[in-house]
Amino acid sequence: MSKTEAIHEPNPLPSLLLVDDSQEIREQMKWGLKPHYSIFEADNREHAVEILQREKIGLVTLDLGLPPDADGTTEGLAALEQLIEVNPLVKVVVITGNQDRANALKAVELGAYDFMDKPVDLEVLKTVLQRAGYLAGIEAENQKLLDRADKRGLPDIIGTSPVMAKVFDTIRRVAGSDISVLIVGESGTGKELVAKAIHQQSHRKDGPFIAINCGAIPETLLESELFGHEKGAFTGAHMQRPGRIESAEGGTLFLDEIGEISTALQVKLLRVLQERCIERVGGRVEIHVDTRVLAATNSDLQLAMKEGRFREDLYYRLNTVTIPVPPLRERGADITMLAKVLFQRFSEEAKKKIAGFSREALLSLEQYHWPGNVRELENRIRRAVTLSDNPRIAPTDLDLDEPKDVQAGPTLKEARDTVEKRIIEQTLAKTGGNITKAATILSVSRPTLHDLITRHDIKK
Strand 287-288, strand 91-96: pairing:
unpaired
Alpha helices in 13-121 (DSSP H): 23-33, 45-54, 74-86, 101-109
CB 302 within 8 A of CB 155: no
Q: Is the pLDDT of residue 11 over 50?
A: no
- Tell me, yes or no, whether 292 and 216 share the same domain: yes
pLDDT digits (tens, 9 = 90+) for 211-241: 999 989 988 889 889 998 787 667 666 777 8
160 occurs within a structural domain? no
- Tell me, yes or no, whether 389 and 441 share the same domain: no
CB 60 within 8 A of CB 91: yes
Distance CA 66, CA 102 (A): 17
End-to-end CA distance of the chain: 46
Q: In 3-state terms, what secondary structure has residue 298?
A: coil
Task: Select the more confidently predicted residue: 431 or 18.
Answer: 18
> 282-285 contacts: CB < 8 A, separation 24 or more?
282/229, 282/230, 282/231, 282/232, 282/233, 282/234, 282/237, 283/229, 283/230, 283/233
232 occurs within a structural domain? yes
150 occurs within a structural domain? no
156 occurs within a structural domain? no
1 occurs within a structural domain? no
Alpha helices in 36-161 (DSSP H): 45-54, 74-86, 101-109, 122-152
* pLDDT score at 205: 93
Average pLDDT over residues 431-442: 86
- Tell me, yes or no, whether 293 and 354 share the same domain: no
**CB neighbours of residue 81 within 10 Å:** 15
- Tell me, yes or no, whether 44 and 138 share the same domain: yes
Q: What are phi and psi of 38, to 5 degrees?
A: -85, 115
CA distances, 263 to each of 171, 236, 300 (Å): 29, 25, 16
Mean pLDDT, the chain, rounded, equals 85
Where a domain ends, among 144, 177, 196? Answer: 144
pLDDT digits (tens, 9 = 90+) for 332-388: 888 988 898 899 889 888 888 887 888 788 889 999 999 999 999 999 999 999 998
Q: Which amino acid is at 404?
A: K
Radius of gyration of the chain (CA): 28
Give the count of domains, the chain. 4
Q: In 3-state terms, what secondary structure has residue 211?
A: strand
183 occurs within a structural domain? yes
Distance CA 389, CA 387 (A): 7
The CATH number linked to 102 is 3.40.50.2300
Where is average pLDDT lowest: 5-9, 14-18, 87-91?
A: 5-9
- What is the pTM for the complete model shown? 0.63
The CATH number linked to 437 is 1.10.10
CB 118 within 8 A of CB 97: yes
pLDDT digits (tens, 9 = 90+) for 83-136: 988 888 889 999 886 566 778 778 877 788 888 888 888 888 888 898 888 777
- Tell me, yes or no, whether 315 and 202 share the same domain: yes
Q: Which amino acid is at 418?
A: T
**CB neighbours of residue 245 within 10 Å:** 25
CB 382 within 8 A of CB 344: no
| Cα 424 from chain centroid (whole Å) | 17
133 occurs within a structural domain? yes
* pLDDT score at 43: 92
Residue range(s) defining the domain that contains residue 273 = 165-320
